[in-house]
Amino acid sequence: THLHPKNIIDLAISTPEMLQSLNPVIAFIGLLSTAIMFLHSKIEFPVVKAIPAAVWVIIIAEIYSHILGFEEGGSLNLMGLICSFDKTFLIDLPNEITQAIVTPDFSAWNTGVFWNVVVAVVLVSSIEGILSVKAIDRLDPLKRKSNVNKELSAAGIGTSISGLLGGLPIIPGIVSSSVAINHNGKGQLTDVFQAVLILLLIVLLGSQLQLIPLAALSGILIHTGYKLLNPSEIGNIYRIGWDQMLIFISTLITTLTTDLLIGIAVG
C-alpha cells in the first residue's frame, strides 16, 4: 500500500493503515537505526564512542543491505508473512554524475505558473533559511549570532548556480548543522569539509552509497528532530507571555496541517 499523507493530521489518520501494511524487514532497520542514534551517547566503550552514531547507522545498514541482497531484490518468510524488498528501498543515485546535470528551460518565463514557483521558492527558502539560522544560534554552545544577510546572500547565489545546473534550491541545513554541533563542529570549515566529503563519497563510493536503505536515514532524522524539539523552550515561551504562546501554538499547528509558508503567515 502506498500512502502519501499531506500533513500531520492525514498522517495520524493513516497510521493504523500504514501499520497494517508494515514491511518488517524495512521497519527493523528503521527501528534499529533510531535505537542506535538514541543509545549511542549512553555507551561507554571508547571504540564505539569514537565513531559518531550516524556513521554506525550507515555501517550497520550497509551490512544489512548486503546480507539480504536489497539491490538484487528478494523476500523473506517471517512466520508465514512474505516480506519483499528490492532497490526501491535504497538511496537512488545516478550512475554517472553528469546525468544529474540538467540545463534549465526558460521557455515558460512568461507564464503565471513559472512566477508562482519562483516566488514560492524565494519566500519558502528565505523564511526557512532564517528560521534554520535562528535555531542553530540557539543550539550553538558558544552562543554566537549568525549574520542573516550573509546567509541569505550565500543561499541566493548558491540557489542560482544550483538551478543553472539542474539542482535544487540551497538553504542552510538544519540537520547537517545540528549534527555538526553535536559532534563539536565550531567553524565554517565544517560546511566546507562536509561538502568536499559528500562530493568524494558520491564520486568514489557512489555504488556503496546506493546500498544504504532509506529507512536508516529516517532513524537519523527522527533523532535530529527530537534534539531540535527542546521541551524547555516551550516553557520559556510561556513564561514570556501568553500572547507569545498563542503565536507559537498557532504557527505550529498551521505549519503541521498546511505548510511552512502558511504557518509563518498565520504566526
Q: Which pLDDT value is given to residue 3?
A: 61
How do residues 149-187 score in pLDDT, each as one tens digit?
988 998 899 989 988 888 888 877 777 777 777 777 777
Q: Which three cell numbers stand for residue 55?
A: 556513521
* Residue 223 predicted with pLDDT over 60: yes
Mean pLDDT for 73-79 is: 83
Q: Which pLDDT value is given to residue 237?
A: 85
Read off the DSSP letter of residue 187: S
More confident residue, 8 or 163: 163
Q: Which pLDDT value is given to residue 58?
A: 92
Q: What are phi and psi of 57, to 5 degrees?
A: -60, -45
Q: Are 177 and 129 in contact (CB under 8 A)?
A: no
The helices-and-strands tally (H runs, E runs) of the chain is: 12, 2
Read off the DSSP letter of residue 170: P
More confident residue, 217 or 171: 217
Q: Which three cell numbers stand for residue 159?
A: 540557489
Quote the crossing angle between the two packed helices 53-68 and 214-228, to the nearest 10°. Answer: 160
Q: Which pLDDT value is given to residue 151?
A: 87
Give the Cα separation of 177 and 181 in Å (integer): 6
* Residue 46 predicted with pLDDT over 90: no
How do residues 94-108 score in pLDDT, each as one tens digit?
777 677 778 888 888
Read off the DSSP letter of residue 184: T
Give the Cα separation of 237 and 244 in Å (integer): 6
More confident residue, 229 or 29: 29
Q: Which pLDDT value is given to residue 119?
A: 84
Q: Which pLDDT value is given to residue 63?
A: 93
- Across the chain, mean pLDDT equals 84
